[in-house]
Structure 1
Amino acid sequence: MSKLVISTSVFQSQVADLLPCNNHQKSQLIHSLLNAYKLLPYFDEVLVFPYVKKTELVEFHSKAYTKLLINEKLNKMLPQDIDDPVVESKWNELIELAKNWNEKVDDHSTQEVQRFASREDLYEYYHSQLHTLEEDNDIGSSDVMGAYDETSTTDPCLSDDEKKEYNLEGDCPIFSYLPMHCQVITGATLNLLDHMSPTDRLIGINWDGGRHHAFKQKANGFCYVNDVVLLIQRLRKMKINKITYVDFDLHHGDGVEKAFQYSKQIQTISVHLYEPGFFPGTGSLLDSRKGKNVVNIPLKHGCDDSYLDLVASKIIGPLIKRHVPEVLIIECGGDGLLGDRFNEWQLTIRGLSQTIVNIMKSYPQAHIFLLGGGGYNNLLMSRFYTYLTWCVVKEFSNARQVNDLNQSDPFNICDGDDDSEQFILEHDLVEMYGEENYQYWIYEMEGSSWMKTLRNDNKVEDIVEIMKHYEL
């Protein structure tokens, strides 16, 4: 029997959206759409206030880097954010939309929990919850990441040399409430482990996780704390050794691979675009060590559903079967989808979701963790994670719940149903989808101006070469 657990809430989504590349929208759109499609009641547990202690971070990251990230003096509005009207406007946009929608809704039972009107209010809630946790769990404030080093005299304005050393510049700038962000988003992944048991198969989800680029002592690629590595480290402490990590992000999962490149028990599989000049520049076939557990599957421009399905069946599946994992971690990055701003691959929401679910079904005894990842069209990503969540609960919930899902299929996509009839369900942020005519499958509809067809540079011969490399 599977136990389904997800970490998501208004609080978590707003904290996640402090990350600049989320554009103050991505995670809130995902959470609101999950609610609109009434998927959360199908989970056995919904975690609403995740957090980690400082000791959990240093299980992978260096003490110096960790101390810098969780400097309590960064838990405030920083000057660059206070003075930026664009940032403030983006932060307020969804709050105003939700407020206006709620005022018009007659059925108050459908309303969302009230969003936090400011980042200061968000932090006040966070701080109050920390004190409650300290009292309930008999832990001191020095053990809680958000309250760690409160007496530090370190100037939160780092020198240029420090920013360079820890890569806290460029795509990884210091932003307001960075320590809170690190605590909550990392906790959203690690707290899933609290629900593992010897009798049930755990399927845990954190769509705000999957920060696969962060290194031991520096940030990288929009990632500050590598929750994937920390998750694996914790699993190993729990005496679970055989673990497979599969990464579907458009970008190479370099941070996770480097952390376990010499491990005989941890298998890392990364499917990614590999072209000259494309970030992070690693992940070639030659980077893999033949016969070991580091697996790179470098693909070219234009990868589509059928090609990825071939990669999964001919390479990924046999390699996982060879490793026989007790736990399977899947990074479900969506930046390879049709409609993403990178415009490099042409995967569909349904195609990528089906590939992920097929892998899950192939290993019924393994605990599974599904984590988020890249994806730079926020409206597209909310659709993807909502549909993938629906696929997961439909496939792995208990019989009664599955019957309920079949009877109230919100997507109604079977038997050749007309995609054009599938509109985004009414909810507090529905107006965000107005420019896309509120259509769920707008990026995959034949004849739609939003659908882009790319030339597929990937060949079957490439798969044959990769199979030979890994002796399949």
Structure 2
Amino acid sequence: MAKNAANKRIEHAVFIYSEDQLGYKFSETHPFNQKRLVLTVDLLRKMNALPENLVVPARVATDEELLLAHDQRYIDIVKKASNGELSPEVGESYGIGTEDTPIFENMHEASARLVGGTLTAVDYVMEGKAQHALNLGGGLHHGFRGKASGFCIYNDSSVAIKYLQKKYGARVLYIDTDAHHGDGVQWCFYDDPDVCTVSIHETGRYLFPGTGNINERGNGQGYGTSFNFPIDAFTEDESFLEIYRTAMKEIMEHFKPDVILSQNGADAHYLDPLTHLYGTMDIYREIPKIAHELAHEYCGGKWIAVGGGGYDIWRVVPRAWSLLWMEMSDFAQPTGPLPGQWLENWQPESPVPLIKTWDDPKNMYEPIPRKEEINEKNQQMMDKSLYIIRHTQKNLS
């Protein structure tokens, strides 16, 4: 009797991870580097913040599951690429074998495992085995139904949302705070009234993929369920978080989801080499905190989180993603120095001096001369993007 009760114990949060997730590897020089998973897991373990009983291995998604968001022809092409059977000409038309998404051995299985990790997270939460679940190996939000894009072969979030709908009949809110617009997920559900996609990202004027304008609001029955917040280059923490707090509260009230799926790219940081935002570690404390609060307020705690972008794998990603997990698992938020043993282990391998504290050093960058102008432009953009909600509420009152 006691044993059965113990088996039914609900964990507050589970961490989806296994070393075979590291097989998603384009090359030694490619900016998408899964070494960041190793660094994050090691940092959490040095903090005694990742008990082994909370770690759940990722599985490989089946073809049937991948077909929820991808075409059979495309899956077959990825399999051919995995086995060295795809010509460059054919591959290029599917976004495979390009500079962004080069072919690597076992590409299909490695990609399907990242999807399977997110589906594992979904099942843990929706079956009541955990309130929250994190798969840092996921978050590949640029993948399309029949084409790879932006380092992303299969789109685990799109598959997971379709899976949530089919298996659990869930109404899903997808939140994307990667510096790059979550285009693949948005377009997959652009006309679906039961999926709301929200993306806060650097404006596409300067950054891939160039989409995510405020007038991308959904289509047909899905009109009003797509929200984009393209923030200006050089945006700092205060403006970013003001948009995030305000938008999420209003959207949650408007959409009333059953579950939250959040994509947590860590590339809005000042040190990220591929973007132009001026975030600090403060946003990576606050983003998960707010998502956590909203999940409990509106969704009975149901919160699934995935990784995403993040290209300063030494100084930014391990700290940011560790803070995400600590928030999900109710581990006390750390301040002060990072564990000395972690710094000693990795500094010899790091090509840059590691930041030795959880918070960023003061005066990390020169003051932005256009700060007030940037903040004002971002505020105006937010008001325009939320116009649908505010206009609807005004008419109803």
- The TM tier, using the shorter chain, reads 0.7 to 0.9
- Take 2:180 and 2:261, find their aligned partners in 1: how far apart are those partners? 17
Structure 2 residue corresponding to 1:30, chosen from 15, 30, 40: 40
Change (3 A) 1:383 1:432: farther
**Residue of structure 2 in register with 1:68 after alignment:** 77
Shift of 1:471: 2.2
Shift of 1:281: 1.2
Deviations 1:73-92 (A, max 9, x none): 725xxxxxxxxxxxxxxxxx
**Residue of structure 1 in register with 2:341 after alignment:** 426
Structure 2 residue corresponding to 1:375, chosen from 307, 310, 330: 310
- Take 2:234 and 2:385, find their aligned partners in 1: how far apart are those partners? 18
Structure 2 residue corresponding to 1:283, chosen from 212, 236, 250: 212
- Take 2:99 and 2:354, find their aligned partners in 1: how far apart are those partners? 35
**Residue of structure 2 in register with 1:108 after alignment:** none
Are the counterparts in 2 of residues 18 and 181 from structure 1 also a CA contact under 8 Å? no
Structure 1 residue corresponding to 2:159, chosen from 230, 251, 269: 230
- Take 1:197 and 1:174, find their aligned partners in 2: how far apart are those partners? 35
Shift of 1:33: 1.9
Shift of 1:251: 0.9
Structure 2 residue corresponding to 1:180, chosen from 109, 120, 129: 109
1:467 aligns with 2:386: yes
Are the counterparts in 1 of residues 26 and 102 from structure 2 also a CA contact under 8 Å? no
**Residue of structure 2 in register with 1:445 after alignment:** 361
1:89-128 to structure 2, matched below 5 A, reads: none
Structure 2 residue corresponding to 1:164, chosen from 92, 100, 112: 92
Mean Cα displacement is larger for which, 429-438 or 300-309?
429-438
Are the counterparts in 2 of residues 301 and 458 from structure 1 also a CA contact under 8 Å? no
| Secondary structure, counterpart of 2:305 in structure 1 | strand
1:47 aligns with 2:56: yes
- Take 1:227 and 1:470, find their aligned partners in 2: how far apart are those partners? 29
Kindly tell me the number of residue pairs found equivalent between the two proteins. 365
Change (3 A) 1:300 1:163: same
Shift of 1:324: 0.8
**Residue of structure 2 in register with 1:416 after alignment:** none
Are the counterparts in 1 of residues 250 and 389 from structure 2 also a CA contact under 8 Å? no
Shift of 1:424: 4.0
**Residue of structure 1 in register with 2:182 after alignment:** 253
User: Which blocks of at least 5 consecutive residues in structure 1 are unaligned?
Assistant: 76-154, 395-404, 414-418
TM-score (norm 1): 0.71
Change (3 A) 1:424 1:18: farther
User: Which blocks of at least 5 consecutive residues in structure 2 are unaligned?
Assistant: 1-9, 392-397
Shift of 1:230: 0.5
Shift of 1:263: 0.4
Change (3 A) 1:24 1:269: closer
Are the counterparts in 2 of residues 32 and 429 from structure 1 also a CA contact under 8 Å? no
1:11 aligns with 2:20: yes
| Secondary structure, counterpart of 1:186 in structure 2 | helix
Kindly, what percent of the aligned residue pairs are identical?
21
- Take 1:233 and 1:470, find their aligned partners in 2: how far apart are those partners? 25
- Take 1:437 and 1:239, find their aligned partners in 2: how far apart are those partners? 43
Change (3 A) 1:382 1:432: farther
Are the counterparts in 1 of residues 119 and 160 from structure 2 also a CA contact under 8 Å? yes
Change (3 A) 1:249 1:49: closer
Name the aligned partner's letter for residue 283 of structure 2. G
Structure 2 residue corresponding to 1:392, chosen from 313, 325, 328: 328
**Residue of structure 1 in register with 2:5 after alignment:** none
Shift of 1:37: 2.0
| Secondary structure, counterpart of 1:70 in structure 2 | helix
Change (3 A) 1:233 1:463: closer
Name the aligned partner's letter for residue 425 of structure 1. G
Name the aligned partner's letter for residue 38 of structure 1. N
Shift of 1:342: 2.9
Deviations 1:392-411 (A, max 9, x none): 222xxxxxxxxxx55xx7x3
**Residue of structure 2 in register with 1:305 after alignment:** 237
Deviations 1:174-221 (A, max 9, x none): 122212311221111112233235556531101110110000000001
**Residue of structure 1 in register with 2:195 after alignment:** 266
Are the counterparts in 2 of residues 70 and 178 from structure 1 also a CA contact under 8 Å? yes
1:295 aligns with 2:227: yes
Change (3 A) 1:45 1:423: closer
TM-score (norm 2): 0.84
Are the counterparts in 1 of residues 229 and 381 from structure 2 also a CA contact under 8 Å? no
Larger radius of gyration: 1
- Take 1:336 and 1:256, find their aligned partners in 2: how far apart are those partners? 19
Shift of 1:243: 0.6
Mean Cα displacement is larger for which, 241-250 or 275-284?
275-284
| Secondary structure, counterpart of 1:306 in structure 2 | helix
Structure 2 residue corresponding to 1:243, chosen from 167, 172, 178: 172
- Take 1:234 and 1:197, find their aligned partners in 2: how far apart are those partners? 11
Are the counterparts in 1 of residues 347 and 354 from structure 2 also a CA contact under 8 Å? no
Shift of 1:277: 4.6
- Take 1:316 and 1:438, find their aligned partners in 2: how far apart are those partners? 31
